[in-house]
Each structure stands twice: as structure tokens, then as C-alpha cells.
Structure 1
């Protein structure tokens, strides 16, 4: 997988959207073609995909007008339609209508000594998709500077701002998914990165918008020697918060931890979410390791660890997942650090650092 980099020159969302769209038109068009094929393989009709994208567009224009302006600019710059851009931005909401997808394992430790949170995540996705991705750096309308890893067409995913806050991102599945229109979960991640400094502010943002699909934002923050972390589970049925105290570690994969939301859990096929979660919990002491790369190496050295996901050749293409990226967040200094591949691959991979500033 190739991870490109992009730095915005200004803070006008329409103009920066045009610049981004023009610079990455082939990647955006390629991502659209790949996702349209995935929708078809997953049993999502074009009519359903269009309906979902239109609902996401209306909700984004109402609740995140700056992001909506960026999407319009991206369409102008790339030659895609605005509808196409929303299909990419709302792919989680489209797929939630038919075949949920499984991805990602996240762990965050809150040191008891007043130092910054220590985080690690795998990004697992379809073997055949998103083999070109990007780390975007930009200044938000709030004045915050942001660095976020994402797929082409997504406004944000895993990232940090220069105000001491970072977001990890895992998909979840609930029976309420698709029950209404809502703001795409990747737009919510962008809103949190642009506007939040604390876990409480991130929760407030997540609770302020309607949602059409489920996810969990594991948020880490650090201010004046105070570290915070919480898993913010979101779904159309509601929002739940699982907080970590100093000295504690919080892990999350792809099933709800909140008992109320877990009652509506939905997965139509076998998932590795529980084994991956148990792996993280059993190895929680490794999350205490201060160095980001050293932490990744330690998890990668676990024997036969299920968090290093490999594609299964016996599965059809649209059900083959692999770990494409291992990523940590430096919330104290506002940077994303990562290596392409699974934790088991990090010893032989380049470790890259991209700061928000």
C-alpha cells in the first residue's frame, strides 16, 4: 500500500477541496470505481447507494457546512459529481445497509505518572481496496491544525490535532444501522479533530448529530499533565462512552462494549473481533511502552497474534480482509506515526512520522 501526503495551503474549504480534487483526480476516480464494485458484490443496489449518499449529503450540509464546501470543491477539481464524492465519504453508511465489514484493533494506555496517552491501532480493510491512501495536513476553520490518515474521498479517519487530541477509528454494526439518514461517521471524525480539545468535547460533538451507521471513536487527549482516553461508541440508536482512568488501558475492536448498545449487535457472519479484543487485553502491558515504534514492534512480536490480519484465500474477494497499516498517535506533539502493514511486519517496514504542524 502507498501512503501519499498532502498539505493544504490555506483554510478556505472550497478552494482546498478544488486543489485536492485536481491533484488526486485519478486516485479519487479509482476509489469510486472500486467502491461501486464492492457495493455491487455486497448486494447494495445503485438505488440504495444513491439514497444513502443523498441523505448523508443533506445531513453534512446541515451539520458540517465547511466539510460540505470541501466536498463541492473536490468534485469541481476532480471532475467527479458531488454525488460521487458523497458515495466515497459515506461508504460506511452504504455498506451498513447490506454487508457489514470488519476492521481494526485499537489500544490506548493512560499512564499514571502524568505523561501522554500511548496508543496503537491496526487498520484492517479489504485486500483489493484502498491500496493508495493519504495523510492530509490542513488548518481547520477553528484554527486547529490537523493531520489525518484516510482513504481517498474521506474527510478524516485516524488523526491528531495540535490541541492535544487524537482519534482512533473502528467500525461497529448495530441493528439500527440504515434506519435513518445521518452525518457520515468519517465526517464526525473530522468534526472532532477540528473542534475538540478534550474527551468531553469529543463526546458532545458525537452526541450532537444524527447518524446512519455505527462506529467507535477512541479518543485520547493530553493537557497540562492530564491524560484522558475514552471509547465513544456511536450508532443511530444512541451514543455510549467507556472511559479509562490514569493507570488503565482501554482496548476496542469491532463489537460494542456498552451493554445497552451490545444488545443490538449485528453481524451476519463469523468475525474475529472477540479474539482480537482478547489478544489486546491479554497483552495490555505492551501498551505501556513509551516509544511508538517500539510499542508496535512489541505487539508485532506476539506469536500468531490475530491482530495481524492476513487475507483468507478461501473467502470471496469482498470478504477478504488484511491489516494494511499500523499506526500510533503522538497527542502531546500532534503527530501521526505509522508503518505500512501489520504489527508483525513493522520490523521490516519504514516507520513514518507526520506532524500536524
Structure 2
């Protein structure tokens, strides 16, 4: 997988979107075509996918107008229709109505001293999809500096801001998914990175918007003196918060840990979520390792660890998943570090670090 980098300039959201769309128009068009093929393989015709995208567009315009403006600019710059830009952002909401997907293992340790949380996540996705991705550095409408890894067409996924907050992202599946129109979970992730500085801020934002699909946003924060973290499980049925006590480690994969939401779990096929979760909890002490690459190497050295997902050639194309990225967040300095590899392969991969942009003015919010 190729991970590109992109830095914003001092423009308004629509202007910055136009600049991004013009630069990355081939990647955006390729992502659109790949997702339309995946949707069709999953039983979602293109017209239905675009109808869901338009529902999500309306919700984004209502609850995150500055992000909606950015999407308008991306459409103008790339030549894609505005609906297709929202289709890329709403891929979780579109897939939630048909074929669930496996994605990601996350672990976070909260020190009991005056040091920042230590985190690690794998990003698992379809073998044939998103083989070009991007780390975006930007200044949000609220003035926050943000750096986020995401697929082309998404406003955010995994990232940190310069207010001491970071966010990991895992997909979940609930029987309420698709029961209503909602803000896309990737838009919610960007809203939190743009606006929040504490776990409480992130929870308030998550509870303030309607959702059409489920995910868990693992929030880590540091105010320079004390660390905090929580897994915020979100779904159309509600929001649950699982705080991490100081001195403890929390892991999350792709099943609900909150008992109430877990009662509505939806998983119609074999999943590796539980084995991956047990792998992380059994090796919880490794999350305490201070150096982020050494932390990744330690988890990668676990023999036959299921957190390094390998594509299964016996499965059809739309059901073949693999680990594409291993990433850690530094919320103290505002940076993410990563390798485009599974944990087991980090030893041979380039380990990159991208910090937050500091030299652009905030865009205005309307």
C-alpha cells in the first residue's frame, strides 16, 4: 500500500477541498470505481449506494457544514459528482446495510504518571481496495491542527490534533445499522479531531449527532500532566463509553464490549474479532512500551498473532481482508507514526512519523 502525504494551505474549507481534489483526482476516481464494484459484489446496486450517500450528505450539511463545504471543493477540483464524494465518505454506512466487514485491532495503555497514553492500531481492510491512501495535515475550522490517516475521499480516520487528543477507529456491526439516516462515522471522527481536547468533549460530540452505522472511536488524551482514554462505542441505537483506568490497558477489535449494545450485535459470518481481542489482552503489558516502533515490533513478534491479518485466497474478492497499516499516536507532541505493513512485518518496513502542520491559519466556520 502506498501512503501519500498532503499538507493544507491557508484556505477556506471549499478552497482547500478544491485544491485537494485537483491534486488527487485520479486516486479519488479510482476509489469511487473500486467502491462501486465492492458495493455491487456485496449486493448493493450503484443507485442504492448513491441514495445512501445523499442521505449522509444532508446530515453532514446539517451537523458539520464546514466539512460539507470541503466536500463541495473536492467535487469541484476532482471532477467527481458531489454525490460520489459523499459516497466515498459514507462507505461504512452503505456497507452496513448489507455485508459487514472486519476491520482493525486497537490497544491503548493509560499511564498513572505524568506521561501520555501509548497506543497501537492495525488497519485491516479489503486486499484489493485502498492500495493508495493519504496522511492529511490540516488546520480545522476551529483552529486545531490535525494530522489524520484516511482513504481517499474520507475527511478523517485515525489521527491526532494539537490539543492533546488522538483517535483510533474500528468498525462495529449492530442490528440498528441502516435504520435511519445519519452523519457518516468518518465525518464524526473528523468532527472530534477538529473540535475536541478531552474524552468528555469527544463523547459530547458523538452523542450530539444521529448515526446510521456503528463503530468504536478509542479516544486518547493528554493535558501535559495526566493521561486519559476511553472506547466510545457508537451506533444508531446509542453511545456507550468504556473509560480506561489509569495504570491499565484497554483493547478493542470488532465486537461491542458494552453489554447493552452487545445485545444487538450483528455478525452473520465467521469473524476473528474475539481471537484478536484475546491476543491484545493477553499481551497487554506490551502496550506499556514507550517507543512506538518498539511497541509495534513487540506485538508483531507474538507467534502466529491473529492481529496480523492475512488475505485468504480461498475467499471471494470482497471477503478477503488483510492488515494494511500499523499505526501509533503521539498525543503529547501531535504526531502519528506508522508502517504500511502488518505488525509481523514492521521489522522489514519503513516506519514513518508525520507531525501536525503549524504554519497555516484556521479556516472560518459557518
- TM-score with structure 2 setting the length: 0.97
Aligned to 1:140: 140
Contact 1:122 1:307 in 2 (8 A): yes
Alignment pair present for 1:252 and 2:258 = no
- Spell out the pairing of 1:45-64 with structure 2 (5 A cutoff): 45-64=45-64
Aligned to 1:84: 84
Aligned to 1:197: 197
Contact 2:27 2:152 in 1 (8 A): yes
Contact 1:11 1:140 in 2 (8 A): no
Contact 1:56 1:184 in 2 (8 A): yes
Question: Residues of 1 paired with 2:200 and 2:184: CA distance?
Answer: 21
Aligned to 2:328: 328
Contact 1:109 1:288 in 2 (8 A): yes
Contact 1:11 1:138 in 2 (8 A): no
* Residue 46 of structure 1: how far off its partner (Å): 2.1
Q: Deviations over 1:183-202 (max 9, x none)?
A: 00000000000000000000
Contact 1:11 1:141 in 2 (8 A): no
| Alignment coverage as a number of residue pairs | 357
Aligned to 1:293: 293
Question: Residues of 2 paired with 1:307 and 1:268: CA distance?
Answer: 21
Alignment pair present for 1:153 and 2:135 = no
* Residue 268 of structure 1: how far off its partner (Å): 1.2
Could you list the structure 1 runs, at least 4 aligned residues long, displaced by more than 3 angstroms after superposition. none
* Residue 328 of structure 1: how far off its partner (Å): 0.1
1:58 alignment partner, SS class? helix
Aligned to 2:188: 188
Question: Residues of 1 paired with 2:347 and 2:71: CA distance?
Answer: 38
Q: Which runs of 5 or more residues in structure 1 are unaligned?
A: none
1:229 alignment partner, SS class? strand
Question: Residues of 2 paired with 1:29 and 1:315: CA distance?
Answer: 26
* Residue 45 of structure 1: how far off its partner (Å): 1.8
Aligned to 2:68: 68
CA RMSD in angstroms comes to 0.6
Question: Residues of 2 paired with 1:203 and 1:39: CA distance?
Answer: 31
Aligned to 2:363: none
- TM-score with structure 1 setting the length: 0.99
Aligned to 2:21: 21
Question: Residues of 2 paired with 1:25 and 1:58: CA distance?
Answer: 23
* Residue 237 of structure 1: how far off its partner (Å): 0.3
Question: Residues of 2 paired with 1:130 and 1:47: CA distance?
Answer: 22
